[in-house]
Amino acid sequence: MSPAVTKAPPTLVPPASPTPASTLLLPLSSIDRTAAVRVSVDFIQVFSSGGAGAPAAIREGFARALVPYFPVAGRIVESVPGVPEVECSGEGIWFVEAEADCTLDDVNQLERPLMIPKEELLPRPPPEVKLEDAILMAQVTVFKCGGIAVGICFSHLVFDGQGAAQFLKAVGEMARGLPEPSVTPIWSRDAIPDPPKIPRSGPPPSFTAFNFVTSVIEISSESINRTKNDFGAATGNKCSTFDVVTAMLYKCRAKAINLPPNAEVRLGFAASTRHLLHGVLPSVEGYYGNCVYPVGITRTSEEIDSASIVEIVAMIRDAKEALSTRFVDWMNGGAKDSHYNVPLDYGTLTVSDWSRVGFNEVDYGWGEPSYVFTLNDDVNIVASAIYLKPPAPKQGIRLMLRCVEEEHSAVFCEELLKLS
């Protein structure tokens, strides 16, 4: 028999004490409102302990955290079509308690491929409620061994990854009985400039559905550190784990998909701009809205194939450094082109680093999670790679890959394993 999860009906967890009135409408920032973040993000935190008391403790943590974070207890509304806002209704978040009839070991600690359908581990509101109006939902599933899985679904309109992690850390602090969050939240979305829209040039983007293969590959700390040392020796500069892993992926994928030498191969990722918002926001620490800006690199297939990993790391670092100028230009209304205008064809790879966002540092009372993984891995319109911290005690980076079709999968994995 396959493992089964029994869910109680979803219930609302309102703030534990009064919050500002439901007539309050809060604006979202111009970054929040970009089309690129109008999605829901699903992920799971796995804890080896917690036990039967976990749902009540975490529920209490949410109720208390929703007082300082009162907008999260509201709903997304559109009084003006195309201009989403947050209505501070104080309704609360949807919360689901669940029990699994197995241990975490029985389901391989929720490693891929999942032995429990992801829908069983994720919260959903009652059928009559619009999912896209919710700001955050949670489900706590208790396993026979006492381990728990916390399934979170949050609106990318309201949080970026770092912002959602900030909120969940506050939930953990409240669940552990702290009097208040260690970081004071601020909304301040209207402090972010709202530059004039840049008219889109050319035809609207077309979407092709690809048949991406899902694979999981580990890149060891030794391999990452070796490349960091090579880069340091060649340039005298330091580089990050993100730079190294991204260079490896970019090169291996370009080789595997084997486009004509002069065809474009593109790399895209969202870089944090929090460090560029000092003086714009009243406080950067505590701000939990979207603080990201897209970074892109375009080279020919031949250029990436002939470049060394160290040379590609340098390209990535140059693109990140250019971000500061581009983002400040955008804030001042001086941007010349639409930064989201990236072709979504087979030549484009997007990467997302979850290893340092903060979801691995949330403690609801039983220590940090042994593993955190995202479930937004069924997108077929753009090649994607997600970087995760592998389950403790492993080191390095785990890659969740959906970026090549079957015919290129063997070569892609082979090339990556040479570097891992």
pLDDT at 167 over 90: yes
For residues 33 and 72, state if they share a domain.
yes
pLDDT band at 379 (very low <50, low <70, confident <90, very high): confident
pLDDT of residue 59: 98
* 363 has catalytic annotation: yes
**What pLDDT score was predicted for residue 367?**
96
Same domain? For 253 and 307 the reply is: yes
- State whether 315 and 219 are in the same domain: yes
Residues 25 and 161 grouped into a single domain: yes
Backbone dihedral region for residue 157 (phi beyond 0: left; psi -120 to 50: alpha; all else: beta)? alpha
Same-domain pairing of 63 and 181: yes
Q: Is the pLDDT at 340 greater than 60, yes or no? A: no
Average pLDDT over residues 215-238: 96
Instruction: Report angle CA 184, 189, 194 to the nearest 5 degrees.
Output: 155
Does residue 282 share a domain with residue 153?
Answer: no
* CATH code at position 256: 3.30.559.10
Residue 368 CB burial class (10 angstroms; 0-12, 13-18, ≥19): middle
**Annotated catalytic residue, options 156, 243, 345, 353:** 156
Eight-state DSSP code of residue 48 = S
Q: Are 95 and 62 in contact (CB under 8 A)?
A: yes
Is 269 a domain residue? yes
Residue 2 banded pLDDT, cuts 50, 70, 90: confident
> Taking CA 243 as the corner, what is the angle to CA 239 and CA 246, rounded to the nearest 5 degrees?
160
SS3 of residue 392 by DSSP: coil
pLDDT at 330: 87
C-alpha to C-alpha distance for 339 and 35, rounded to whole angstroms: 11
The arithmetic mean of pLDDT across residues 338-365, rounded, is 88
73 falls within a domain? yes
Q: Is 156 a catalytic residue?
A: yes
Q: How far apart are CA 118 and CA 385, in angstroms?
A: 19
The answer for 146, left when phi > 0, alpha when psi is -120 to 50, beta otherwise, is: left
Same-domain pairing of 173 and 257: no
- Assess whether pLDDT exceeds 60 at residue 352: yes
Residues 133 and 246 in one domain: no
Give the pLDDT band (50/70/90) at residue 256: very high
Locate 296 and state its tokens. Answer: 């892109």
Please check whether residues 351 and 247 belong to one and the same domain.
yes
- Mean pLDDT, range 238-242, rounded to an integer: 97
Give residue 353's domain range. 212-419
201 within a domain of the structure (yes/no): no
| Complete DSSP assignment for 250-309 | HHHHHHHHT--TTSEEEEEEEEE-GGG-BTTBS-STTB-S--EEEEEEEEEHHHHHHS-H
The total domain count for the chain is 2
Write the CB contacts of 84 (distance below 8 Å, at least 6 apart in sequence): 28, 33, 38, 76, 77, 78, 157
User: What average pLDDT does the segment 138-144 reach?
Assistant: 98
Q: How far apart are CA 70 and CA 158, in angstroms?
A: 12
pLDDT digits (tens, 9 = 90+) for 173-210: 999 999 999 999 999 999 999 887 766 556 666 678 89
pLDDT at 197: 72
Which pairing describes strands 292-300 and 264-272: parallel, antiparallel, or unpaired?
A: antiparallel
Question: Any bridge partners for residue 197, and if so which?
Answer: none
Does residue 403 fall inside a structural domain? Answer: yes
| One domain for residues 331 and 400 | yes
CA nearest 291: which of 163, 180, 392, 415?
163
pLDDT at residue 205, as a whole number = 60
Give the rounded distance of the alpha carbon of 338 from its chain centre: 22
Q: State the DSSP H helix or E strand holding residue 371, giving kind and residue range, or none if neither.
A: strand 371-374
Q: How confident is the model at residue 324 (pLDDT cuts 50, 70, 90)?
A: confident
Of the listed 106, 133, 305, 363, which one is catalytic? 363
| Contact predicate 137/123, CB 8 Å | yes
pLDDT at position 74 over 60: yes
Q: What CA–CA distance (Å, rounded) separates 316 from 355?
A: 18
CB 415 within 8 A of CB 249: no
- Residue 274's Cβ-count burial label (10 Å; 0-12, 13-18, 19+) is middle
- CA–CA separation, 339 and 223 (whole Å): 33
User: Would you say residue 35 has pLDDT above 90?
Assistant: no
Picking from 368, 374, 336, 369, the residue whose alpha carbon sits closest to that of residue 354 is 374
In a domain, 365, yes or no: yes
Q: Are 99 and 142 in contact (CB under 8 A)?
A: yes
> Same domain, yes or no, for 145 and 217?
no
Element (H, E) at 170: helix 161-175
Which residue's structure tokens are 């609360």?
A: 92
Residue 204 lies in a domain: no
pLDDT of 334 reads 74
Query: Is residue 121 included in any domain, yes or no?
Result: yes
Whether 65 and 174 share a structural domain: yes
Position 135 scores a pLDDT of 97
Judge whether residue 364 has pLDDT over 80: yes
Residue 196 lies in a domain: no
